[in-house]
Amino acid sequence: MNLVVVGLSHHTSSVELRERLHFAEKMLPGALMNLREQLGDAGVVILSTCNRVEIYASTEASSGEAHDTIRKFISDWHKVPESEFGEALYEYDGRETIGHLFRVTSSLDSLVVGEAQILGQVHDAFLVAQTEQCADKVTHALFQRAFAIAKDVRTRTSISAGKVSVGSVAVDLAVSIFSDLAGKTVMVIGSGKMGEVTLRSLVTRGVDRVLLVNRSQEKAMSLAERVRGEPLPLDALEENLPRADIVISSTAAPQYLLTPAHFHRALRKRGNEPFCVIDIAVPRNIDPAVKKMDNVYLYDVDDLQSVAAANLDARRQEVDQCMKRIEEGVDQFWGWLQGLVAEPTIVSLAANLHAIRERELHKSLNQLPNLGENDEAVREIMTALSKRITNSMLHQPTVQLKREVADQDPSKVLAFAKRLFGIKEG
């Protein structure tokens, strides 16, 4: 069984490329089933967020074959030639796959190290795979272990203390531009998890007014009440745009919500007073052509990296502690995974020894004199004794085989064990 991951992230690709390869939530069931069939009933999980697109698989295919299949799947599914994204991909197998997922889930690979949202995103991705029956025994164990380590990292370190979200970094950027948010009006488009985190950060920075725009008026009103904001329906976006000094957008809309034409009209109404616009959605909510406009300063999620880098420098010591815990987890899971390779041989060894036990027990019982009414009791005692002896003899070879396949070439270790014990697996 091979574990592989193929993906790209903010470390290796632009937001434009991630946008083209993004898997919308409604796409996931079909994509999972399609890829699982191509890999031969493998376990498959697709993780697609604003900062990464990653495909994890456990498969009987070789790592190279699995990587090739996944690359072709990405290209065919999105109708994007591999030549346009191949250089941005990273491909891992075995221990590297485990370590990568553990780092991602623990937010050590995030744009904002320590942010909490990624754990929920990975959990949601796994849940879709599980619901579609695309998560096998190995992927199920891998992701459950990743969740446990991520929670452990947050408990045992201070990696998530303070301002650790993409939303808070977006607000930091706005502060760096305006120096002071007092007296400013901020429009937040979207009231999902990202929008809510952004709102909380804005309120602590002293913004004067918050305009909360959302497709669901009920959801917008609920969130607006908690931050004393003004809820607005999505169809009121353009008419209220001139009121905003800062616009922060994070929705799952499949098309642009704001274009240069919207901002041209808004600038005329506000006497060319400048906008600070931060688009933290993928796919993006705001047409990137807006960047070319005067008096509109548009930043996307990739532009937040320099602000996030300062955040990482402040957390370097915590990152080192987290990495130690993750390496421990990788060792433990790798040992378990390699132990699975030895299971068929261990099962065969146990079957062989118990067959010998039963044969010799039968011979011994037949040699005993007639014990009359005590006959059944003696049989039970001798049977139990023979099982305890056989299981005791199995213990050390079983433990040692699992250790050896974790540290050495499993095929050589298992071949030797089969010769040593005369095992012939069907």
Return the biggest CA–CA distance within the chain. 111
Residue pair 47/35 in contact (Cβ under 8 Å)? The answer is: no
Could you count the other beta carbons within 10 Å of the beta carbon of residue 138? 20
Contact partners, residue 162, CB within 8 Å, separation at least 6: 114
Band of the pLDDT at 315, cuts 50, 70, 90? low
What residues does 90 pair with on adjacent strands?
7
Among 134-138, 167-171, 350-354, the range with the most confident prediction by mean pLDDT is: 134-138
Task: Give me the pLDDT at residue 340, please.
Answer: 77
Query: Quick check: 163 pLDDT over 60?
Result: no
- The helix (run of H) or strand (run of E) holding residue 141 is helix 137-156
Averaged confidence pLDDT in the chain: 87
Query: Quick check: 341 pLDDT over 80?
Result: no
Query: Quick check: 225 pLDDT over 80?
Result: no
- The helix (run of H) or strand (run of E) holding residue 184 is none
Provide φ and ψ at 317, rounded to 5°.
-65, -40
Band of the pLDDT at 380, cuts 50, 70, 90? confident
Rounded Cα distance between 1 and 5, Å, is: 14
Mean pLDDT on 188-211: 77
Task: Give me the pLDDT at residue 98, please.
Answer: 97
Would you say how long the chain is, in residues? Answer: 426
Q: How far is CA 146 from CA 28, 99, 285, 323, 374, in A?
A: 21, 9, 31, 13, 56
Judged by average pLDDT, the poorest of 228-242, 259-273, 359-373 is 359-373
By CB neighbour count within 10 A (0-12 exposed, 13-18 middle, 19+ buried), where does 314 fall?
A: exposed
Better pLDDT: 189 or 181: 189
Task: Count Cα atoms within 13 angstroms, Cβ side, for 70.
Answer: 32
Render pLDDT for 28-69 as a digit per residue (tens, 0 to 9).
Answer: 999 999 999 999 888 999 999 989 999 999 998 899 999 999
Judged by average pLDDT, the poorest of 286-300, 302-316, 318-332 is 302-316
Render pLDDT for 202-213 as a digit per residue (tens, 0 to 9).
Answer: 777 778 788 988
Task: Give me the pLDDT at residue 329, please.
Answer: 93
Query: Quick check: 291 pLDDT over 90?
Result: yes
Contact partners, residue 330, CB within 8 Å, separation at least 6: 95, 98, 99, 102
Task: Give me the pLDDT at residue 37, please.
Answer: 93
Homologous superfamily assigned to 166-312: NAD(P)-binding Rossmann-like Domain (3.40.50.720)
Residue pair 290/106 in contact (Cβ under 8 Å)? The answer is: no
Judged by average pLDDT, the poorest of 70-79, 161-170, 342-351 is 161-170
Residue pair 246/265 in contact (Cβ under 8 Å)? The answer is: no
- Gyration radius of the chain's alpha carbons: 29
Task: Give me the pLDDT at residue 18, please.
Answer: 96
Render pLDDT for 112-133 as a digit per residue (tens, 0 to 9).
Answer: 887 888 999 999 999 999 999 9
Query: Quick check: 156 pLDDT over 90?
Result: no
Q: What angle do CA 382, 368, 361 make, to 5 degrees?
A: 40
Map out the domains of the chain as residue ranges.
Answer: 2-161, 166-312, 335-421
Q: Which of 327, 319, 238 is nearest to 286 (CA)?
A: 238
Task: Give me the pLDDT at residue 311, please.
Answer: 62
Task: Give me the pLDDT at residue 352, please.
Answer: 86
- The helix (run of H) or strand (run of E) holding residue 7 is strand 2-9
Percent of the chain with pLDDT over 90: 46
- Looking at the annotation, which residues are catalytic? 50
Render pLDDT for 384-422 as a digit per residue (tens, 0 to 9).
Answer: 999 999 899 888 888 888 778 777 777 788 888 888 888
Contact partners, residue 391, CB within 8 Å, separation at least 6: none
CATH C-level class of 2-161: alpha beta
By CB neighbour count within 10 A (0-12 exposed, 13-18 middle, 19+ buried), where does 420 fall?
A: exposed
Task: Give me the pLDDT at residue 180, please.
Answer: 79
Percent of the chain with pLDDT over 70: 93
Query: Quick check: 73 pLDDT over 90?
Result: yes
Starting from the edge strand earliest in sequence, which strands make up the sheet with 52-59, in order?
Answer: 43-48, 52-59, 2-9, 90-93
- Dihedral over Cα of 118, 120, 231, 261: its sign: positive
